[in-house]
């Protein structure tokens, strides 16, 4: 499989090169040259396949021939070493729990897959690779955990000061070894802009190999399509059209779901559920895409004012607005609405959601008003105890800490404060 830049001003390249570079030389995101749908027999027999078998068949066309099939099978099995259960709330709404991995966030899948791909590509390389990543919350911890101790790989994580939860911060600042954290005086968009600028800085790139572990990297983004297939396996016997409500920030997750759909997965529709960072919600209403500075909310992983992956979504639909709108709805919800939803989910269904999942639940409710005969699945993207201050205040119930959270909560934060790109560059050059 080859990949092309969505800016169309760089040479096409291999999966290996796309993973190692992260971003194309013309600043564009990489996208696969072809998407070959899986045979109908795959979906007819999905009940007889394990998670690893489903994932292997779904991803192999995107990584061949650079990763041999036996190596890929091992990578997939190691990536998926935890569960992805569906929890049914009522006849029309379920949640897909994506928080059973080591850092209790959906990004564990992409980070673990990418770390193993990069480790394979780097195993005989004497040159070190620096993974540079911006996080609005969960990406940092997942990447730190996924790459911890990987030979020949250094990780530098930028996160906005005071705008991630305490547990999220501990997960990305306490591991040590090859993981370094930079606390940025700014918002997520400032972190993301610094990372993109570093990739284009020839003085930097002539002295070190930089790559990204944000969802702009194809190896971080594409494996997220796996769990949409796992959900279908659990729900297809309901005999209702399946709709996914995806809490959306940088839009990599909903875009990965759309890639699963391109592979033939029978998904009726997608909902991009936004908080007050609602660039895409506005776009689908006006057909005008206008990025704006992000604002801080209680669903902080979605605090993105210029979603990187939306250009990939537009590519899937060949930039045809009507085709996109037929397959994607989007709604925006305030912090107050999110808190009300958290309380409602707890009181009605005895289920503790996190703020991001609550936004997804609200997206389900909004869509079902006009589409009552569908089954809507919202993605529960992080464990609620990662947002204890919000969740416990709203549901008025103390929550026990899972072992993954207990493992980091007492550790000492180690982070370097920066406020400018110049400081980032100096840090990297040292």
Catalytically active residues, by annotation: 107
Q: How far apart are the first and last CA of the chain?
A: 36
Question: What's the helix, strand, coil split of the chain in %, to 5?
Answer: 45, 15, 35
Sign of the CA dihedral with 360 first, then 363, 369, and 373 last: negative
Give the separation between CA 374 and CA 127, rounded to whole angstroms.
Answer: 52
Place of tokens 């993974």: 131
Give the separation between CA 275 and CA 144, rounded to whole angstroms.
Answer: 26
Q: For the range 414-417, what are the long-range contacts, defined as Cβ-Cβ under 8 Å and sequence gap of 24 or more?
A: 414/173, 414/174, 414/176, 414/181, 415/169, 415/173, 415/181, 415/182, 415/183, 416/180, 416/181, 416/182, 416/183, 417/161, 417/182, 417/183, 417/184, 417/185
Tell me which residue of 330, 325, 334, 327 sits closest to 358, measured CA to CA: 334
Give the separation between CA 79 and CA 152, rounded to whole angstroms.
Answer: 20
Residue 281's SS3 state is helix
Under a CB-based contact definition with an 8 Å cutoff, are residues 290 and 282 in contact? yes
Q: Which residues pair with 246 in a beta bridge?
A: 272
Give the separation between CA 164 and CA 92, rounded to whole angstroms.
Answer: 32
Residue 100 contacts by C-beta under 8 Å, 6 or more apart in sequence?
82, 83, 84, 85
**Vertex 363, ends 360 and 365: CA angle to 5°?**
115
Strands 30-32 and 269-274: unpaired
Strands ordered across the beta sheet of 13-14: 13-14, 2-5, 30-32
Under a CB-based contact definition with an 8 Å cutoff, are residues 96 and 379 in contact? yes
């Amino acid at each position: 499989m080859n990949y092309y830049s969505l800016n169309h001003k760089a040479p096409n390249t291999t999966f290996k090169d796309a993973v190692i570079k992260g971003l194309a030389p013309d600043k564009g995101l990489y996208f696969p040259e072809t998407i070959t749908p899986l045979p109908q027999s795959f979906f007819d027999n999905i009940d007889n396949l394990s998670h690893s078998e489903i994932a292997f068949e779904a991803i192999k066309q995107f990584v061949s021939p650079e990763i041999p099939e036996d190596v890929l099978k091992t990578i997939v099995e190691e990536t998926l070493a935890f569960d992805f259960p569906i929890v049914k709330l009522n006849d029309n709404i379920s949640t897909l729990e994506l928080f059973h991995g080591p850092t209790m966030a959906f990004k564990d899948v992409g980070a673990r897959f990418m770390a193993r791909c990069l480790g394979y590509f780097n195993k005989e390389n004497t040159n070190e690779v620096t993974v540079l990543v911006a996080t609005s919350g969960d990406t940092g911890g997942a990447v730190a955990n996924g790459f911890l101790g990987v030979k020949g790989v250094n990780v530098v994580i930028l996160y906005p000061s005071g705008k991630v939860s305490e547990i999220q911060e501990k997960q990305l600042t306490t591991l040590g070894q090859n993981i370094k954290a930079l606390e940025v005086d700014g918002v997520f968009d400032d972190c993301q802009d610094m990372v993109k600028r570093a990739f284009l800085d020839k003085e930097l790139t002539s002295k070190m190999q930089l790559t990204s572990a944000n969802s702009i990297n194809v190896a971080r983004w594409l494996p997220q399509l796996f769990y949409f297939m796992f959900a279908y396996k659990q729900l297809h016997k309901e005999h209702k059209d399946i709709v996914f409500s995806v809490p959306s920030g940088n839009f990599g997750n909903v875009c990965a779901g759309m890639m699963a759909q391109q592979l033939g997965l029978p998904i009726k529709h997608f909902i991009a559920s936004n908080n007050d960072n609602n660039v895409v919600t506005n776009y689908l209403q006006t057909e005008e895409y206008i990025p704006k500075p992000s604002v801080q909310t209680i669903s902080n992983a979605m605090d993105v004012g210029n979603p990187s992956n939306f250009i990939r979504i537009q590519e899937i639909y060949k930039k045809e607005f009507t085709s996109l709108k037929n397959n994607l709805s989007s709604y925006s919800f305030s912090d107050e609405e999110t808190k009300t939803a958290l309380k409602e989910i707890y009181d009605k269904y005895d289920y503790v959601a996190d703020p991001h999942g609550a936004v997804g639940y609200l997206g389900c409710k909004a869509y079902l008003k006009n589409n009552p005969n569908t089954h809507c699945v919202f993605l529960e993207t992080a464990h609620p105890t990662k947002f204890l201050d919000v969740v416990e205040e709203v549901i008025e119930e103390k929550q026990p800490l899972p072992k993954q959270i207990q493992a980091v909560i007492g550790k000492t934060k180690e982070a370097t404060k920066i406020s400018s790109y110049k400081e980032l560059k100096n840090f990297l050059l040292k």
